[in-house]
C-alpha cells in the first residue's frame, strides 16, 4: 500500500473525457480560475444529455472528493 506522500506526489490519473488533458482542463470544468490543488484521480463520462464526474484531490495535506452529474433529458 502506498503512503500518503507517495500518492500526492504521483502523476494525476485522468480518465474518460479528461484522458490526455491537463489539470487546468479539469479545474476549468469546475470553476473559472485555477487553484493550487493536486488532482490525484479524475473521471468524466457521459454524452450531450447526461454525464457523471468524480474527482479525488489533495489540498494543503487533506484529501477531498467531488462528484456530480447532469441530465438535460426531457421526459
DSSP secondary structure string, 1-39? Answer: ---HHHHHHSPPEEEETTTT--HHHHHHTT-SS----EE
Whole-model pTM over 0.95: no
- 20-72 tens-digit pLDDT: 887 777 777 666 555 678 888 988 888 778 888 898 988 888 899 988 888 88
* Confidence at 7, pLDDT banded by 50, 70, 90: confident
Distance of alpha carbon 20 from alpha carbon 58, whole angstroms: 20
CB-based contact 9:35 (threshold 8 Å):
no
| Cα radius of gyration rounded to whole Å, the chain | 14
The DSSP code for 72 is -
The DSSP code for 48 is S
Amino acid at each position: 500500500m502506498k503512503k500518503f506522500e507517495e500518492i500526492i506526489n504521483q502523476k494525476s490519473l485522468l480518465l474518460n473525457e479528461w484522458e490526455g488533458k491537463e489539470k487546468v482542463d479539469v479545474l476549468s470544468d469546475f470553476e473559472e480560475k485555477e487553484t493550487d490543488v493536486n488532482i490525484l484521480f479524475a473521471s468524466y463520462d457521459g454524452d450531450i444529455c447526461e454525464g457523471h464526474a468524480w474527482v479525488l484531490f489533495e489540498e494543503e495535506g487533506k484529501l477531498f472528493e467531488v462528484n456530480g452529474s447532469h441530465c438535460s433529458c426531457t421526459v
